[in-house]
Amino acid sequence: MRPVRLEPSDSEPIALHQRAINDLRYIRETMERAGEFTAVPGWGGVGMGTIGVVAAYTAARQGDAERWLAVWLGAAVLAIAVATWSMARKARRAGIALLGGPGRKFALSFLPPVVAGAVLTIALYRAGMVDWLAAVWLLLYGAAVATAGTFSVRIVPVMGLCFMVLGIAALFGPASWNDWLLAAGFGGFQIGFGVAIARRHGG
């Protein structure tokens, strides 16, 4: 949790109404920060991105759609494990409850798009429309991160929107772009934003 500044920077006597304005600003700032979920894992994101790069490289070399999908599903399971472990570790280190108020809001906003993505994966696979999966994954993961990110630091929803842009490119671009776009999103963005979050927001 980012700390709030307790003392006004100016020790000069100030007018009563100015003090009131400062107090209202302080209350708003405290409420905003108290509602932020700050256990988003930076280094965990780098780990997830590394898994994404390896998965994109391996999946692109598979001969058929089943194996391509199996590689990405295996990578997803690994990435979820890394994310859960690193979030729990970051929360424990900061002395905050992972599923306390902000954490619960983050999880409840993150899950619906992800569940929608899982259901669409099954449906599109059964319909033989595997080429659409890259767009669905990028768009819905981006939507999950962008919506849940409203309860976190500002960089998180920005990351979600970047994923959504890649999803739109996958949706309207040729299928031959899919592996590159997945590598850029689940590899490149995850690593890049992970490093930024780790540096600016405590690991």
Partner 1 sequence: MPPAADRKVRRRSRANPVELDRIIHERVRLAIVSALAVNETLTFNELKALLDTSDGNLSVHARRLEDAGYITCDKSFEGRVPRTEYRLTPEGRQALQRYLDHMEALIRRVREP
Of the CA atoms within 13 Å of residue 81, those in its CB half-sphere come to 7
Among 11, 13, 17, 126, binds partner 1 (CB under 8 A): 17
For residue 98, CA distances in Å to 84, 104, 179 come to 10, 8, 33
For residue 162, CA distances in Å to 114, 118, 133, 179 come to 16, 20, 17, 17
Residue 174 dihedral angles phi and psi, to the nearest 5°: -70, 155
Does position 27 interact with partner 1 (CB under 8 A)? The reply is yes
Among 14, 66, 84, 100, binds partner 1 (CB under 8 A): 100
Does position 97 interact with partner 1 (CB under 8 A)? The reply is yes
Q: Point out which span in 18-26, 132-140, 142-150, 152-160 binds partner 1 (CB under 8 A).
A: 18-26
Does position 177 interact with partner 1 (CB under 8 A)? The reply is no
The DSSP bridge partners found for residue 152 are 37
Q: Point out which span in 17-25, 57-65, 156-164, 170-178 binds partner 1 (CB under 8 A).
A: 17-25
Does position 4 interact with partner 1 (CB under 8 A)? The reply is yes
Q: Point out which span in 88-96, 108-116, 164-172, 173-181 binds partner 1 (CB under 8 A).
A: 88-96
Is the CB of residue 201 less than 8 Å from the CB of residue 159? no
Does position 107 interact with partner 1 (CB under 8 A)? The reply is no
- Residue 31, Cβ neighbours under 10 Å: how many? 10
Does position 1 interact with partner 1 (CB under 8 A)? The reply is yes
Report the amino acid identity of residue 19. R
Tokens 């994101």 belong to 45
| Residues binding partner 1 (CB under 8 A) | 1-4, 6-7, 15-17, 20-21, 23-24, 26-27, 30-31, 33-35, 94-97, 100-102
